[in-house]
Chains A and B, each alone.
Chain A
């Protein structure tokens, strides 16, 4: 394979930075949408970035031990690694060296880091939060995996650049959302549950377990979790756009598409209270799983 090393290096550096900046914008969008629905003004444009800078710059930084430090390093590092496997317009990065399945499992590395770090804090609220987060992962990943299986079988490949190329070559009617509408619905619900917003924020649950994983986090530790949120919102929405909305032809339509995905999610957030753990599992295993299985059956029948 003939790789242009300079271009590759630039892509590898640029892709996480782009992901972070776009992630900041998406977080701003979520907060703005929520504010407008609640008839508030919402935060100013730079607020997400200011939050992170403020937390990072705090003088008091409380650590509960090396594993907690390692945990937040893995949180940031794991997502930086994941972003270069997620192709964006004009940049494929490492997407040919690891496929969709690799990406999904790579995105679990930061979650593992967070879980380890929180575990070291020796706070039961944090541990309960992680137990709930892992439980909800089991809940939303089952419909999500069905969606992934359906998509890979429909496109005949798990290579993300190929999946984008197939959709862009075929035009609007070959987009995932047109070819497998039921899987698109199941995917939207499960990727929304991945973001951990209401009604699926059972592992944050401030009133019950004092914000769960974040209970002992302050300063740059909490800042790392903010960065994680930016990366996560970005990765989930880009993955959805890649699988169902034809990827990005250019940066304008690309940003429009991922903003649309997040806009829909953010609008749902505001109108729901929180599920109990067991109710979230039951709901996710009933509706999105059922819809996705139906969608999968249709894909298999084709």
Chain B
């Protein structure tokens, strides 16, 4: 046991050391490589911890740390469970690739690299602390650290980034207050904040109280996930963050909300209880409510992404939408669904980071991420194109990439649970994603190459290797999804869900199987046959991009011949009014509610019967002291 305990201590200490060292080394070039190396060491520690699961007889193994504290009579512990470990691997992995990308040529033209690396290191440390929280109070401490660390990483560019980050911290503070309220309420009622006591207490607590506690927690955690209706802050904040840091945030940051939500909903309250908590005067129960929150989070942000003209905004909105699939899978609460939801966390991190890095590469060379001003870059930046292609196939959830596997598991679990409308909602999200990501790759890499980008070159190897490796991970874990399913198994055990029988290639079940080894192998062989047929034909002759059908006109370089603006004009003629209608109605509604409640509170305080309020408070306080 001492060996295991040492491991988490070592991990946390290395994470702390990373902060100190990145601060000490300042703006030196070597700082980035040093940080990358330290993330590598952290990943190594995590892998060593993961080895324990292959040897242990139970997946419920905990890694305790020597970090403890006592606060208000509560004994705080930090220990990492399988769930925390799964998220920690993704966190450190995302940091590793992001700082690797940032370490080389990308940092040369920039100043403020100290802040960049320190902010990332602070994020990783606080996330690891959150992920190894052993009770609700340490969870809250970790949560607050993560919020402020996110603020630090988002705000570093200043200007619009600072505004977006400020918006986030407003949301996050409101959420933190809600979480704190829930924790205080639980402490009052249950007497302790360790998970076991809280779980026992909640099992016999009245429904109304569980509702209150659940909704308070939900407010805080959903804000981090940017789930609808708290989805407004995230895309602007992430897209304003410097490229590699945005890749890190997009890969993992909002999943901290999912982690905390899974603990509260599945581990502490339990799905059986959620089903039991019916909403009066409807056929709905708490779980159905959660499933629909997830489904709406899939659809609304995805279709907002479809209308974006900035590549980073588009990706950030998709990140929110993909979070909906994870929540959807976890709330189905079947072995297949939870595995799919957890696996999607990993899969999404891999291709989303790759996509952000590919877009960052384009920005590095062209100076813009405006989808109306790019085009034709595939001939100049084939490696960035390859990364983006791998990434968008994953994001759209098509074979052979890993995104398909996890989404397939979510679809299948919804159908197995007889939830066809949620299945429909999740597929609509996927279809919207396909439309949106095609626009992304078409407007950036395909079509006409503009004159001003004629001499653009591929990004240096220090940048292209990490993003290609990420794309490769997304492909390999699509080919062999069993690798990720093995990693998700301890996390699933912590949530108290039965393990999913799986093999290296996927899932075999009586009601429909998926063996990606076969699917991908056949796809590769078939494409090989397609290539044989194609190259077996006569030689092709390459023509210039202006040697094109133009209805009898001659094309010249000053002629814009790339169809990119308002790409889905026909579709927007149908659904365009809905954005103005329902989506913006939702946004203005949220603003109105907060304005209204602010005015109300303002009115109470300002409109003066201060002495009367004081009197009420004193009387209430005395009453509580005497009879409480």
Contact = CB atoms under 8 A, between A and B. Distances in A.
A100 B412 CA distance: 10
Interface in A110-139: 112, 115-116, 119-125, 127-128, 130-132, 134-135, 137-138
B563 A115 contact: no
B518 A145 contact: no
Given A98-B519, A123-B549, A277 B573 contact: yes
Contacts of B568: 131, 134-135
A145 B562 contact: no
Given A99-B512, A122-B447, A141 B427 contact: yes
Contact of B411 (A101, A106, A150): A101
Given A98-B514, A121-B548, A215-B549, A61 B541 contact: yes
A252 interface: no
Contacts of B404: 105
A85 B545 CA distance: 38
Contacts of A106: 399, 519, 523
A67 interface: yes
A189 interface: no
Nearest to B515: A97
A64 interface: yes
A74 interface: yes
Given A112-B398, A119-B442, A12 B570 contact: no
Given A101-B412, A122-B561, A210-B549, A57 B378 contact: no
Given A96-B513, A98-B515, A159-B513, A277 B571 contact: yes
Chain A interface, >50% SS class = helix
A73 B534 contact: yes
A133 B522 CA distance: 26
Interface stretch (B417-425, B469-477, B603-611, B612-620): B417-425
Interface in B501-515: 510-515
Nearest to A63: B540
B545 A69 contact: no
A78 to B, nearest CB: 7
Interface residues of B, number: 77
Given A134-B435, A142-B424, A60 B541 contact: yes
A274 interface: no
Contact of A63 (B385, B434, B513, B541): B541
B431 A138 contact: yes
A278 interface: yes
Contact of B534 (A72, A124, A159, A215): A72
A72 B529 CA distance: 12
Interface string B399-432: 1000010001001100100101001100110011
A122 B442 CA distance: 10
B393 interface: yes
A216 B375 CA distance: 18
Contacts of B439: 131
Contacts of A268: none
A150 B423 CA distance: 11
Contact of A300 (B389, B418, B442): B418
Contacts of B206: none
A250 B449 CA distance: 54
Nearest to B511: A157
B548 to A, nearest CB: 5
B420 A138 contact: no
Contact of A108 (B376, B389, B434): B434
B422 to A, nearest CB: 10
Interface string A13-32: 00010000000000000000
Interface string B527-543: 11111011001111111
B579 to A, nearest CB: 15
B431 A94 contact: no
B363 interface: no
A158 B262 CA distance: 29
A109 B537 contact: no
Nearest to A93: B522
A165 B343 CA distance: 33
B512 A101 contact: yes
B526 interface: yes
B3 interface: no
A67 B526 contact: no
A153 B519 contact: no
Most buried by A among B418, B446, B571: B446
Interface string A205-220: 0000010000110011
Contacts of B515: 97-98
Interface string B444-480: 0111110000000000000000000000000000000
Contacts of A69: 534, 540
Contacts of B531: 73, 77
B571 A153 contact: no
Q: When A and B form their complex, which 6 residue pairs have the shortest distance between CB atoms, in order from nearest?
A: A277-B570, A119-B446, A77-B530, A77-B527, A99-B512, A158-B512
14 contacts: A56-B537, A64-B543, A67-B446, A78-B526, A80-B530, A98-B513, A101-B512, A121-B548, A123-B549, A124-B561, A131-B569, A145-B423, A149-B415, A281-B570
Interface of B: 375-376, 378-379, 385, 389, 393, 396-399, 404, 408, 411-412, 415, 418, 420, 423-424, 427-428, 431-432, 434-435, 438-439, 441-442, 445-449, 510-515, 518-519, 522-523, 525-531, 533-534, 537-543, 545, 548-551, 561-564, 567-571, 573-574
